[in-house]
Amino acid sequence: MTMEPQAPLVYRQKILTNSAVEFIETQPNKHAFKQVSGVEFLPEVGEFVDKGTMFEWDKWYEESIKASESFKKTLKRLVKCLKDRGVAEDLKITIRDPDSKDFNFNYVLELIEKIQTNKSNTTKTKPLKSFVRGCCKKVEDNKPVIQGLLEIIPTDIYGVLISGGFSLILIAVEKNANERDEIQTFLAEIPEKLENIHELSAIYQTSLELHVSASSVMAAMFEVLERIVEKVTGTWKVRLAEKTEKVSRKLRPLKDMGSPFSRTRISVKGSALQELKDTGEEDHERVQLTVRESLANLQTEIDRFQRHVKVCAQKRLGEMEERQIRMEEKLDEYLKQFRIAGKDGSESPEDHRRETSARSFANKLFGLLASTRFFDKKTGGVDEEEVNQGRFEEQEVARRNTQARSSTLVKHWTEGLKSLADPMADATECIQRVELLNPSEKDQSRAILHSEELRKWLRNKKSTILEIKLDTPPDSLDNPLSFTSALIATSISSIRQGPVLAFFASHRNAASRDDELSTPLSLVTSFNAQLLRYLAKHCPKVDLTSIAVEKFYITAKKKLNTALKMFQALLRTLPQGHTTFIVLDGHSKLSGKDADADKIFTKLKGIVDKQDQAVLKILVTDPLVGSVVGEIADQSVWVEDRVAGYGDIDIGESTGEVFQTDRGKAKKIALRHESDEKDDSDMEEAEVSESESEEENSSNSEEEEDSEDQDED
């Protein structure tokens, strides 16, 4: 039994480090490519091809290969001249033929070390020596342009020829200062021009056009080096011809006189003359460029190559236009292949279609993966910096969108509310009217601020309820309880995190004869509006649109039960760690049914007892006699009509002691909050109005809520 010969293994010229390519070749294979022989990524062209396909080096670098062979011949002539002139002995080096195996990077580095850096040519010699070393060390990190350019080319022969050519030229002019300066000036222009090539590291999709352009750059570079070598050898030939002419002039008189010396054969460096003859014949066969012209041609090719580099650097493989063009270009080729396959029977059209589809699928998938901004084109991996930036941008966009929706919802819900007043404006008015309090009332306020119960209420980390009442209930708008409530509310709002919800019942009664402005429903509606505004401004991550879909959203402005449900739902949306302060001044001044007021505090007490959401601290002043507040309060402050004091109150001192802040800051609390609340009222308005359908839904839901109210009562 004979064994069939195995197909030779084909290895890629470069190690695969592209994560997108690696994913395509390993992960989808089990499903997408299981019915085909396989596709493989070819780094030189930046796309998937049939497995085993190799990059046709000789085809795409034909121009530079011919130029390198021509330069190698010229370099051989230079080597021969160097040997004939005894340069090797003078510099104590070995001159090797460019075709020999020993003509390699190590040999080039040995040559470059023999070149001396004199004071007269330091600025030129050092950069040239560094350039040669760069050609020999192209795999190092932070490689200069020539190394990056050589990295694109899948061979090392160019690096050896370029660096070797530079070294031999520098050696040839080492002993002649005049020639050395001129030739080094020409050589120095090559790396200077190559420095114009940028963004080589950004190329993540090479192309055949890029390889052809790189070949043209190499060919132009060899042309420059060849012209420089010919200029060096040409100078020697001119000198040789001059010496020969001098000898001829001396011998000519002897010849005319019939001297026997006239028949003497004059031999001056016969090998060099033969070389001169050979070189002259070869130069005569082609159009010669000067060194300057060849340098200009190199610049032209570099500019063309740079344009291809920019195209490859900016290319996004997933763009439909590029894919469409490439598919259209290959359509005719595919159709021809189909016809050929169908005729010779080597492969059925169906098999060929599967193979073609596999390649197309792999290339499009690669384009999708590689075109994302999170794909690092330099390393072939994930760009962590772009990923983090993308996450931040997404979060920022989401935050702005959420905040915009929330602001619109707040504007929509608060639109047309008669009972909606600015509680901090009431508080500021109370503080500014402190001088209207008599000395006894100021002493009462000071006693409240310095009470142990208030300190415990402020410092308690859990939900709690505090009631404050006077021996004689206040009967005027300017009273110690309202002043103290205003000072507490503004101070907490300035120095603590979390919403501060305030309601001054006496001020709401005094502002209008309409009792609806100070009812229990108005109280909860005001709390809901304040909490909505706080969430929209200070909690941009909270999406309030979830509140709008609830049944209570429409009727919360009209019914107490649904208003309380909305208030509880808003408390649940507060982020963890937020403490909500509620300051109700003048409980006894609330209009409407006392039972409704008790219902509010019973609901709040239930929230406090659950302790399953944000911490809730409630302060109630002047509670109604016989109300539920006295039963549910955790602490109580009872202030007599006459307390010890000096008949005055220092706002800065008292606030600083109670809230542990400096006096200067405490004195500015009231004025600061006045401006802050103006900023809140200037929130961006959205022209959203309730539709007629919402009104219909409101009436329907009211009937449902009525039945729920009866059940709860």
Question: What CATH number is given to the structural domain containing 573?
Answer: 3.40.50.300
- Rounded distance between C-alpha atoms, residue 202 and residue 501, angstroms: 57
Per-residue model confidence (pLDDT) at position 319: 46
Question: What is the residue type of 478?
Answer: D
Q: Which two tokens stand for residue 616?
A: 């809730």
Residues 347 and 458 placed together within one structural domain of the fold: no
Residue 688 clears pLDDT 50, i.e. is over it = no
Question: Within a domain: residue 711?
Answer: no
Under 8 Å CB-to-CB from 84, ≥6 apart: which residues?
269, 271, 272
Residue the block writes with tokens 């291809």? 308
Residue 573 clears pLDDT 80, i.e. is over it = yes
Under 8 Å CB-to-CB from 147, ≥6 apart: which residues?
134, 135, 137, 138, 139, 140
Structural domain tally of the chain? 3
Element (DSSP H or E) covering residue 710: helix 692-712
Maximal C-alpha separation, the chain: 156
Question: Within a domain: residue 704?
Answer: no
Q: Containing domain of residue 345, as a range?
A: 10-43+317-382
Question: Within a domain: residue 584?
Answer: yes
Residues 353 and 432 placed together within one structural domain of the fold: no
Per-residue model confidence (pLDDT) at position 447: 92
Residues 214 and 263 placed together within one structural domain of the fold: yes
Question: Within a domain: residue 684?
Answer: no
Residue 130 clears pLDDT 50, i.e. is over it = yes
Question: Within a domain: residue 430?
Answer: yes
Reported as a pLDDT band with limits 50, 70 and 90, residue 240 is very low
Reported as a pLDDT band with limits 50, 70 and 90, residue 484 is very high
Alpha carbon of 235 to those of 96, 176, 287: distances in Å? 22, 11, 19
- Rounded distance between C-alpha atoms, residue 28 and residue 232, angstroms: 60
Per-residue model confidence (pLDDT) at position 347: 55
Residue 282 clears pLDDT 50, i.e. is over it = no
Question: Within a domain: residue 689?
Answer: no
Residues 166 and 259 placed together within one structural domain of the fold: yes
**How confident is the model over 314-340, as a mean pLDDT?**
54
Residues 426 and 495 placed together within one structural domain of the fold: yes
Residues 341 and 419 placed together within one structural domain of the fold: no
Residue 684 clears pLDDT 70, i.e. is over it = no
Residue where a domain terminates, one of 266, 281, 313: 313
Residues 369 and 496 placed together within one structural domain of the fold: no
Under 8 Å CB-to-CB from 599, ≥6 apart: which residues?
520, 560, 564
Per-residue model confidence (pLDDT) at position 469: 92
Per-residue model confidence (pLDDT) at position 638: 93
Residues 509 and 645 placed together within one structural domain of the fold: yes
Nearest to 410 by CA among 517, 493, 322, 529: 529
Residues 456 and 352 placed together within one structural domain of the fold: no
What is the full DSSP assignment across 275-298? HHHHHHHHHHTSPPPPHHHHHHHH
Highest mean predicted confidence (pLDDT) among 130-144, 256-270, 319-333, 593-607: 593-607
Residues 610 and 668 placed together within one structural domain of the fold: yes
Residues 374 and 513 placed together within one structural domain of the fold: no
Question: Within a domain: residue 465?
Answer: yes
Residues 557 and 574 placed together within one structural domain of the fold: yes
Nearest to 493 by CA among 661, 685, 682: 661
Mean pLDDT over each residue of the chain, to the nearest integer: 69
* pTM for the full predicted model: 0.46
Question: Within a domain: residue 394?
Answer: no
Residue where a domain terminates, one of 287, 313, 339: 313
Question: What is the residue type of 499?
Answer: P
- Rounded distance between C-alpha atoms, residue 336 and residue 324, angstroms: 19
Adjacent-strand bridge partners of 465: 618
Q: Is 155 exposed, middle or buried (0-12, 13-18, 19+ CB in 10 A)?
A: middle
Residue where a domain terminates, one of 313, 336, 371: 313
**Angle 145-152/208-256 helices, nearest 10 degrees?**
110
